[in-house]
Structure 1
Amino acid sequence: MSLTLTQFNELSQAEAQATLLTCCTSSQWAQQLASARPFKNVEALLNSSDAIWQQVQNNESDLLEAFDGHPQIGNVATLKQKYRNTQDSAAHEQSGANEADDAVLEALAKGNQDYLDKFGFIFIVFATGKSAQQMLDLLQARLPNDRNTELANAATEQNKITRLRIQKLLGQK
Structure 2
Amino acid sequence: MRELSRDDLLACCASARWADGVAGPPYSDLTALLDRSDSVLAMLNWVDVHEALAAHPRIGDRSKGADRESAWSRDEQAGTATAEQDILEELRKSNQAYEDRFGHVYLVCATGKSAGEMLAILEDRLGNVPEKERMVVRDELGKIVRLRLAKLWEETA
Residue from 26, 51, 62 that aligns with 1:38: 26
TM-score (norm 1): 0.75
- How far off its partner does 1:101 sit? 2.2
> Greater CA radius of gyration, 1 or 2?
1
- RMSD between superposed Cα atoms in Å: 2.5
- Alignment of 1:128 with 2:111, yes or no, is yes
User: How many residues end up aligned between the 2 structures?
Assistant: 144
Residue from 53, 58, 65 that aligns with 2:41: 53
Deviations 1:87-111 (A, max 9, x none): xxxxxxxx69x95222211111100
Residue from 120, 124, 130 that aligns with 1:147: 130
Q: Could you list the runs of 4 or more consecutive aligned residues of structure 1 that deviate by over 3 angstroms after TM superposition? A: none
TM-score (norm 2): 0.82
CA distance, structure 2, for counterparts of residue 30 and residue 99 of structure 1: 33
Identity %: 39
Deviations 1:40-69 (A, max 9, x none): 11111101111111111xx11011001111
Structure 1, unaligned runs of 5 or more = 87-94
Residue from 52, 61, 72 that aligns with 1:66: 52
- How far off its partner does 1:19 sit? 1.3
- How far off its partner does 1:72 sit? 2.2
Distance change (3 Å), C-alpha of 1:167 and 1:74: closer
CA distance, structure 2, for counterparts of residue 133 and residue 18 of structure 1: 34
- Alignment of 1:157 with 2:133, yes or no, is no
